[in-house]
Structure 1
Amino acid sequence: MTVPFLSITRVLNDSVLKCNIPEPKGNLMQDCWDLHGQDERFFPFWLEEWPSAFGLYDFISQKGLKWELALEIGCGAGVLGQLLHKHPGKVVHTDIVLEACVFARQQIKASNPVLAMDFTRCCLRKNFDLVLGTDLFYEDRLVHGVCEFLQDNLTAKGKAFIADPVRKHRMESTQKILQENKLLHIKPIEWNYKLDGKNRNMIIWQFQKAKKH
């Protein structure tokens, strides 16, 4: 399946950024979902533009985060990967939807792998010092899935940053699940940024493994 792309320009605070996003024409979204038997896990959210990628990129840039090898879960169309193209660190980008991975592979620099992976059902051989993700907490099962994945795949001193827009209907449930987790130290970071002149706010959840007593 060929997914056409649209080149866009966005102004993040005072910086002009360019990237490619899917251009879902006609019945493309329905066709992509039908490929997976309308399984809700594979709904093609990746065909939509998600501003949180710009917010997390702003956080990474402002904080001056550095790494040798990082992992992104739920990369979608690869917007964050495109924005990070000048960063010297390597990033392994992953998504559950194969079509999203194919699209992202065409947009992200060749030195960064793009893999089809369901983070809720796997454990990698290698642990990571840095894990990134955006817009993942729209269902309880994904909040649990992220926690379980990070418990298994973060290094002892590693950190994960999962950026999520402030969804009022989700916040109470998300907070409850995260507060009940005793294997991870989890801290919410409020982050404000301006995209195309519009003020936006989000929560960036910072995860670390809890220290053993």
Structure 2
Amino acid sequence: MPPHYHATPPEAVTETVQDTVFIDDYRFRIDRPADSDKLLDHPWVRSAYAADEYVPYWAQLWPAARMLAKVVVREKWESYPQPVRVLEVGCGLGLAGVACLARGLDVTFTDVDETALSFADRNARLNGFTAGFRTRPLDFRAPEGVGRFPVVIGSDLMYEERLVEPLIGLLEVVLAPGGVCLIADPDRLAARVFRWKLEEAGYAVAPELIRAGEPGGERVKGTLYRIRVA
């Protein structure tokens, strides 16, 4: 099937707010729509769901994105072949990719929604980065032409079981030989299926317990899936 991209109408995002996200010793500023629930009521969103079961979940700063950002800032990137090139799948607001930039990595932000990509670009620049990154639309059901990357990252990508097979197909196309994929998940049921299907496809999967949350706030438990070709 050909790729099917989306672009949440700018007029649907009537107001934005800026969150300050603390990850270990790092502090990131993230712009996002002020009311993502109101966004879901927009007629375009209802039409996009009817046509492609699409919902603009990118507009929220999800706990799994914080989990992945924590993994990124703690990873021993100096042990990787340099320079480290990262593909963030379903970047949404771009928190994890911005964390990669803070660690000196080269980042390609991707999302199926072009408005999400504009927020990711804005958030990279908001945190002082003007180079070392780029954005491109990506429907991971049709990932041709993206190229291969030694590091692929993503968070909360298996929120429905129908996305498991396309995600595994994506990795077959974009993960370079010897590369690693880091996916953070808040322990959704579909993630179990994802792990089984990955192992059936010949990948080695190492799950790790992760938690994330704001200082003094609620902490959410999840799993990091560290994925390599077996």
- Bin of the TM-score, shorter chain as denominator length: 0.7 to 0.9
Does the Cα contact within 8 Å between 1:22 and 1:77 map onto a contact in 2?
no
Name the counterpart of 1:117.
138
Q: 1:159, CA displacement in angstroms?
A: 0.5
Name the counterpart of 2:229.
209
Provide, for residues 11-61 of structure 1, a one-character-per-residue CA deviation record: whole Å limited to 9, x for no partner.
Answer: 445654432222137843232514636435421111122021111111122
Q: 1:83, CA displacement in angstroms?
A: 3.4
Does the Cα contact within 8 Å between 2:158 and 2:191 map onto a contact in 1?
no
Aligned-pair identity (%)? 24
Name the counterpart of 1:29.
40
Tell whether 2:210 aligns with 1:199: no
TM-score for both structures, normalised by structure 2: 0.78
**In 2: Cα distance, 1:26 partner to 1:56 partner:** 24
Tell whether 2:207 aligns with 1:166: no
1:108 alignment partner, SS class:
helix
1:43 alignment partner, SS class:
coil
Query: After alignment, is 98-107 or 88-97 more displaced?
Result: 98-107
Name the counterpart of 1:188.
207
**In 2: Cα distance, 1:193 partner to 1:26 partner:** 23
Equivalenced residue count is 208
Name the counterpart of 2:54.
42
Provide, for residues 120-167 of structure 1, a one-character-per-residue CA deviation record: whole Å limited to 9, x for no partner.
Answer: 212235211000100001122322122111112211111110111122
Unaligned 5+ segments in structure 1 are: none
1:120 alignment partner, SS class:
coil
**In 1: Cα distance, 2:109 partner to 2:136 partner:** 6
TM-score for both structures, normalised by structure 1: 0.84
Does the Cα contact within 8 Å between 2:164 and 2:193 map onto a contact in 1?
no
2:96 alignment partner, SS class:
helix
Q: 1:86, CA displacement in angstroms?
A: 2.2
Sort the Cα spacing of 1:35 and 1:97 in 2 relative to 1 into closer, same or farther, 3 A: farther
Structure 1 vs Structure 2 CA RMSD: 2.5
2:32 alignment partner, SS class:
strand
1:19 alignment partner, SS class:
strand
Unaligned 5+ segments in structure 2 are: 1-9
1:19 to 30, 40, 43: 30
Q: 1:9, CA displacement in angstroms?
A: 2.1
Does the Cα contact within 8 Å between 2:73 and 2:103 map onto a contact in 1?
no
Sort the Cα spacing of 1:64 and 1:24 in 2 relative to 1 into closer, same or farther, 3 A: same
